[in-house]
Amino acid sequence: MKEKASNGMKNIFFTVGPTQTHPKLGEYLNEGLERGVYSISHRGKESGELFAHTVSSLKKLLNVPEDFHVFFIGSATEAMELIIENCVENKCFHFVNGAFSKRFFQIAQELRKHPEKCEVPAGEGFNMQTASIPADTELVCFTQNETSTGVKIDMPDIRTLRLKHPDKLFAIDIVSSAPYAPVDYGVIDCSFFSVQKGFGMPSGLGVLIVNDKCIQKAEKLQAKGMNIGSFHNFPALLKSAYKNQTPETPNALAIYVLGRICYAYLEYGPERIRKETDEKAGFLYEFLDNNPRYPAFVKNESWRSKTVIVAETPEGSAPVLKRLAERGYIVGSGYGEFADKQIRIGNFPMHEAKSIKRMLKVLE
């Protein structure tokens, strides 16, 4: 897509989220103001139409089946809490290979569930053929793209596992993979993302997509007298969603802008976005594989994320980030313990191939 330094500065953000904003963000924000979107009643007809437009555009863009429900919440982190509260009575299972998949696991611990995990070292993926999930697991949690390390999980691998466990609910974090990576909703019961990554929006909106099996599980727990949360429990979110509303006064600005961006992506073509993302990831990894100063952190090619590319920086990340920033390219540092040892490059629809190439020239 055509990216533009829409913030008026020369900087281009290749960070992994928040990141470069969509080139039309300013236009959409002002349009929302002109149209009164930030003033109209959140219980009225006009607001309901905007809500419904965003939901239908999003479902079309992400290939979400009609019978899934879309809930607007505050963040992907909140989605993790809500999924655990509403879908787990006693036990869930997590595939952990970095900070964000670990966060999902820790939230289950904090909520006094009894999560178990399959954990592999940072930079590695999973062998789903050999993964062993306890029989009494109610929910299995995946992170399609581990933003801290740049490792992906492919849908066919999840499908393999699902065939062995048709009785369990499957949840997937698609935070930094949407709208690029396909999700097979035939084997997934709920997914979630936040808008400050592949959608190029300001942060502050989480999107949670759930099927009726998740709703039924929440209702079952509620009937048992369990605490499944209050205003944002699944039955409450569903009741409001049927009216094209949220239980609380919603982030109408973000819902409106998300609808506009989904529509823009649909017009541009989801397949074209996917093809461009693959191409950009292709020459990013090619560059890393040919430059011993920046070896790719993820060695196994089949585990390499196309949207979050992580490079090791044997000379330390600080001088590399500084050199890039001086030329207007803002790239992310490594995450947590890797802060000084790695850099992370976001490859989202807003990022143009030619700017990535220019940025790589600076790295050379």
Comparing CB distances to its own copies, the nearer of 161 and 309 is 309
User: Which of 57, 143, 251, 342 forms a contact with its own copies (CB under 8 A)?
Assistant: 251
Collapsing DSSP states into helix, strand and coil, what is residue 210? strand
Q: 270-289 and 252-268 helices cross at what angle (nearest 10)?
A: 80
User: Which of 98, 125, 179, 250 forms a contact with its own copies (CB under 8 A)?
Assistant: 250
Collapsing DSSP states into helix, strand and coil, what is residue 71? strand
313 binds its own copies (CB under 8 A): no
Comparing CB distances to its own copies, the nearer of 85 and 157 is 85
Rounded to whole angstroms, the maximal C-alpha distance in the chain is: 61
User: Which of 1, 55, 70, 80 forms a contact with its own copies (CB under 8 A)?
Assistant: 80
Give me Rg for the CA atoms of the chain: 20
What are the two backbone dihedrals, phi and then psi, of residue 211, each rounded to the nearest 5 degrees? Answer: -100, 180
User: Which of 3, 15, 188, 284 forms a contact with its own copies (CB under 8 A)?
Assistant: 15
26 binds its own copies (CB under 8 A): yes
Q: Give the closest residue to 252 by CA, choosing from 18, 50, 45, 3.
A: 50
> Of all helices (H) and strands (E), which one includes residue 223?
helix 212-223
Which part of the chain contacts its own copies (CB under 8 A), choosing from 28-36, 48-56, 89-97, 157-165?
Answer: 28-36
What are the two backbone dihedrals, phi and then psi, of residue 31, each rounded to the nearest 5 degrees? Answer: -60, -40
Tokens matching residue 266 = 């649909």
Collapsing DSSP states into helix, strand and coil, what is residue 195? coil
What are the two backbone dihedrals, phi and then psi, of residue 292, each rounded to the nearest 5 degrees? Answer: -60, -15
User: Which of 134, 186, 225, 314 forms a contact with its own copies (CB under 8 A)?
Assistant: 225
219 binds its own copies (CB under 8 A): no
CB of 60 to its own copies, least distance (A): 24
Spatial neighbors of 166 by CB under 8 A, at least 6 apart, are none
238 binds its own copies (CB under 8 A): no
How far apart are the C-alpha atoms of 250 and 252, rounded to whole Å?
Answer: 5
Which residues inside 156-195 make contact with its own copies, applying CB under 8 A?
194
90 binds its own copies (CB under 8 A): no
Comparing CB distances to its own copies, the nearer of 58 and 187 is 58
Comparing CB distances to its own copies, the nearer of 56 and 203 is 203
Tokens matching residue 269 = 């073509």
Which part of the chain contacts its own copies (CB under 8 A), choosing from 38-46, 56-64, 160-168, 356-364?
Answer: 38-46
Residues that bind its own copies (CB under 8 A): 6-9, 11, 13, 15, 17-21, 25-26, 29-30, 32-42, 73-78, 80-81, 84, 106-107, 110-112, 194, 196, 201-205, 225, 227, 229-233, 247-254, 330, 332
